Amino acid sequence: MKLFLKTKDFSVSGESFELYWDKDLDMLVTRPQPKNLAPYYESEDYISHTDSKSSFTDRLYQLVKGKNLKNKIQVVENQIDKPESLLDLGAGTGDFLISAQKSGFKAVGVEPNEKARQLAKEKGIELHQSLENLSGQKFQAITLWHVLEHLPNLEEQIKSLTSLLEDDGVLVIAVPNFKSFDAKHYKTHWAAYDVPRHLWHFSKKSISKLFARHKLEVIKIRPMWFDAFYVSMLSEKYRDNKLYLISAFFVGLWSNLSAIFTKEHSSLIYILKKEK
């Protein structure tokens, strides 16, 4: 593999990391990959494990998260006839599962972070710590909202997900896209690299090829429009830009406008089903 970029963990440790390009998969791989990733999530700034509204960034994230929940449920419902069983991997503090249950799904979730599980429990949601707890079960829908990039042993994880999916079920995956305009614009400071928590950095080709190995095919790709703005805002903050909101707005806007033609949005939702 070829060295693609040098970057660092801007949000927690400040440690340096390198991204290597896997030519065959058109995917970036974080090096080194720490044996123990847990300490890199131990931060009040790691927003998906908290319901914090203490900063402007927190409040903005929580506001948009609420609006996105409806869109996420709609994405899943559009692929099925009637809501039945759903598994959310990397469930965070449980908000998506609550929305899924309200929409009629018998929904369960997996979240390895203890703090996030406790926050979900306070909302009445009991989360499993590992996929191993669900061995032998089958689900109509499995969702990973910005989770796949965090999973070690990627091939094994995809194999496990495939075994849990019903034959006519749907797998929904949202991940950042390192081919986007904002990724190319911010380079080292692109917040969605988020090393070392993000172990893998995907393109359309890599998602298609990785899951084809497990007899899953991409049937539809949808953009996540807001991500360009949010990621740009964090990226500008990593650059220590005091006018980060203004700069982020214009970069995010241009990223979305350019993606209308290139189809390379900041983040993409992939909808996959088992090959027939």
| List of domains in the chain | 2-274 (3.40.50.150)
Query: Is 56 a residue whose pLDDT tops 80?
Result: no
Rounded mean pLDDT of 165-180? 97
pLDDT band at 70 (very low <50, low <70, confident <90, very high): confident
* pLDDT value of residue 51: 58
DSSP 90-155: S-TTSHHHHHHHHTT-EEEEE---HHHHHHHHHTT-PPBS-GGGGTT--EEEEEEES-GGG-SSHH
Cα angle 218, 223, 226 (rounded to 5 degrees) comes to 150
Pick the residue with more confidence: 57 or 19?
A: 19
Start-to-end Cα distance in the chain:
34
The rounded distance, in Å, linking the Cα atoms of 148 and 158 is 9
Q: What integer is the mean pLDDT of 96-115?
A: 95
User: What share of the chain has pLDDT > 70, as a percent?
Assistant: 92
With contact defined as beta carbons under 8 Å apart, do 173 and 268 qualify? Answer: no
For β-strands 267-274 and 2-8, DSSP reports them as unpaired
Look at strands 200-201 and 27-31 and give their pairing.
antiparallel
pLDDT for the residue 276: 77
Quick check: bond before 196 cis, omega within 30?
A: yes
| Whole-number average pLDDT of the chain | 93
The pLDDT, as a whole number, for residue 214 is 96
Q: How many residues does the chain have?
A: 276
Distance CA 250, CA 270 (A): 26
The yes-or-no verdict on residue 48 having pLDDT over 90 is no
| Residues 6+ away with beta carbon under 8 Å from 122 | none
